[in-house]
Amino acid sequence: MDTVQRYFIEIAYNGTAYHGWQIQKNALSVQELINKVLSTLCRQNVETLGCGRTDTGVHARQLFAHADIPAKIDVLNPQFLLSMNSMLPYDIVVKRFIKVAPDAHARFDATLRSYEYHIHFSKDPFLHNLSWLLRDKPEIELMNKAAAILMDYKDFSCFSKSNTKTLTNNCLIQKAEWVQTKHGIAFHISADRFLRNMVRAIVGTLIRVGKKEMNVEDIRKVIDSKNRSVAGESVPACGLYLTEVIYPYLPVEK
């Protein structure tokens, strides 16, 4: 049996055409295509494991996966990267391979993950499927007051998709804020981990605050309820981006 070397693979993609990152039956995923191209180039089956999963239509500016690749294959050769990207669709790119220890784990070793959710307010064909078009502008000041409350809590069951198999719904949020952008507004959130559908549910709830359908302090009632039906609706996937994943042993590239 060939010896293998573990690598982290940094990937970015426009998720519009895919049913998320993770391989699924009867649906095209980003992971499926990455595995297929890697296996073709390595001439044997190679499987990846991602740092997490993104839902259908969600994008990633930075996602890491790890894979064990035959040591005889020089994936650090620029030609290998060129070959891989030439075989992948236009909406997926592999940015780099990073040699790591045999026990390095893309999912369990990540210490911080960051997402952004983008909203615009005027019809723009160049933002279609890349940002959510919202007709009425919510009050960003109210939403930021409500977002700050998130950091007082750890259990976010109220924002989790039902029937998930997670052992805990606790997450440590380190950043949650709205900012003005060129085209509208964006929500930035960072935490050690996220629950399925969590960011989109948070954004939907904060939008209700911004539209004055809820008071700022009502966020506490929502979180304390631990009930998904009490929180706001999940916003569309098109505006959501996984933007950064941090590992203690990888330098942060800016």
The residues, ordered by sequence, that sit 6+ positions from 118 with a Cβ below 8 Å of its Cβ are 127, 130, 131, 132, 181, 183, 184, 185, 186, 239, 241
For residues 208 and 27, is the Cβ–Cβ distance under 8 A?
A: no
End-to-end CA gap in the chain: 39
Q: Catalytic residue at 2?
A: no
| Rounded-to-integer distance, Cα 246 and Cα 106, Å | 10
Q: For residue 237, what is the DSSP state? A: G
Tokens of 29: 């995923």
Selecting among 2, 55, 152, 155, the annotated active-site residue is 55
| Rounded-to-integer distance, Cα 80 and Cα 208, Å | 48
Instruction: Using DSSP, state whether 5 is helix, strand or coil.
Output: strand
Give the residue numbers marked as catalytic.
Answer: 55
